[in-house]
Amino acid sequence: MVNESSSEFPRPLTGQEAEVVEAMVLNGTSSHAQPTQADRERWLTQIPNLVVTGRCDCGTCYSINFFEEQTDGADFVLDGFSPRDEMVMLLVDGDRLSSLEIPPLADDLPTTLPRASELSFPEWEPVD
């Protein structure tokens, strides 16, 4: 179980978190609209300055926020998968990386972050 108190925030990204975010920016796919290469290059420049401001409100999954003010929707959701077939999502809101999310599959809560080298990325298929 993930157990961090709110006093541990804000904090810098760990090395592993930064590597996962970078892999998601470079390779993540979206079912609605694919980001351009220029989008990905802009987002890459944000990684060294990202700060973890908190976790998902559930307190058990491995999802982290990069801004305290979260909006109701993201402009891009970049998808990848962990070796356990957990979806890994990087949300981009207003052209800024806003959160890294690993939602639970049924009752199986993801409590650890996969390594960037373990991620797989689906082929992009536009949704009508």
Domain assignment present for residue 127? The answer is: no
Please report which confidence band the pLDDT of residue 1 belongs to, taking 50, 70 and 90 as the band edges.
very low
Domains contained in the chain, number: 1
**Residues of the domain holding 82:** 6-118
Domain assignment present for residue 96? The answer is: yes
Give the model's pLDDT for residue 106.
Answer: 66
Give the model's pLDDT for residue 3.
Answer: 45
What is the rounded distance in angstroms from the CA atom of residue 57 to the CA atom of residue 128?
Answer: 32
Helix (H/G/I), strand (E/B), else coil: 100: strand
Q: Is 121 exposed, middle or buried (0-12, 13-18, 19+ CB in 10 A)?
A: middle
Domain assignment present for residue 24? The answer is: yes
Give the model's pLDDT for residue 128.
Answer: 56
Residues 6+ apart with CB under 8 A from 53: 9, 10, 65, 66, 67, 68
Q: Is the pLDDT of residue 53 over 70?
A: yes
Domain assignment present for residue 123? The answer is: no
Domain assignment present for residue 64? The answer is: yes
Least confident stretch, 29-33, 47-51, 95-99: 29-33
Give the model's pLDDT for residue 27.
Answer: 96
Domain assignment present for residue 128? The answer is: no
